[in-house]
Amino acid sequence: MEMRDYPYWITLAHLPNWKTARIYNLLVDIGYNHNTSFEDFFSRDISTLKKDFALSSKESEDILRARDNLQNNSFLAEELISERVELVSFDSPEYPITLRNNLGTKYSPPLLYAKGNTKLFFEDKIAIVGSRNVSDKGAEFTKHIARKCASENKVVISGYARGVDKIALETAIENNGMGIVILPQGIMTFKSGFKKLYKYIIEGRVLVVSTYPPKAGWSVGFAMGRNVYLYGLAEEIYVAESDNKGGTWSGAIDGLRKGRKIFVRKATSEEKCANNELIAKGAIAVDDFGNIIKGTRNYDKGAIQKTFFEIQ
């Protein structure tokens, strides 16, 4: 992406009340179907937008209103550049293939804000997810999987929330591993987090990513939306501990509906968690060390590929 295009990408990626798929289709229409510049696109009036880009009256009006934000987004782009934040568009060779393959054009964010080593997008990536109020057993499982990731050069994907997310990232880092942090907020509002992670970002071992407007604060909606990208970026997903509602549960259920392989720590009968409910719904049961439990209902030796951690 040319730096002069940053303001246009920022403006179009966050069109208010536009669904991701609609934004994606418009960007494809501008850059590929019409092979026109952003400057030319934004110079058009409502009638031309409707005619050439098949936009509705409301959509055309949205574009004209968005045009008023271009100057502010030019200043914002300069701030991002000064803070060494890279903009990765969906058509960039740096855009993670895993995300595009898992989410498709309907849900893949058209623009990523990234600070750190973007080469981590193309390493083997594992999401370790679970409760904020994780039990000791869930925490130990998380640490074990994170240590295995570090020893085998797998990247841990983290939402940087209290509980499993932070335990997974911190354990990987402590063991000379790598991590990708997916933010539930704009990348420019993560200042305290950058202070803690600065050393590892400089070393190329941590990458921080946001899909939201750069100056947006944390919100519940963003946190729930972030989980979609966290799951989507991973080749494999390990659930340390889940309640029967909330982000971990909904993310796992959504993954199962989409045919993703979700590996869930099998809980004991004394534990008060919903892990075994997820297994009953189709998740793959694993033991405390992340190995598939053979003989359980969802184990199929012919259908399930070996996990990163299954013993030969």
pLDDT digits (tens, 9 = 90+) for 42-98: 999 999 999 999 999 999 999 999 999 999 999 999 999 999 999 999 999 999 999
* Residue that finishes a domain, picked among 40, 61, 82: 82
Same domain, 20 and 121: no
Range of the domain at 40: 3-82
Question: What pairing do the DSSP bridges indicate for beta strands 111-116 and 125-130?
Answer: unpaired
- Number of domains comprising the chain: 2
> Could you read off the pLDDT of 111-128 as tens digits, one per residue?
999 999 999 999 999 999
Same domain, 9 and 146: no
Domain membership of residue 203 (yes or no) is yes
Same domain, 226 and 146: yes
* Residue that finishes a domain, picked among 58, 82, 106: 82
The pLDDT of residue 157 is 97
Same domain, 157 and 255: yes
Residue 265 CB-half CA count within 13 A: 31
Domain membership of residue 206 (yes or no) is yes
Any idea what the CATH number is for the domain that residue 165 is in?
3.40.50.450
Angle at the Cα of 112 from the Cα atoms of 11 and 203, rounded to 5 degrees = 135
Average pLDDT of span 2-6: 89
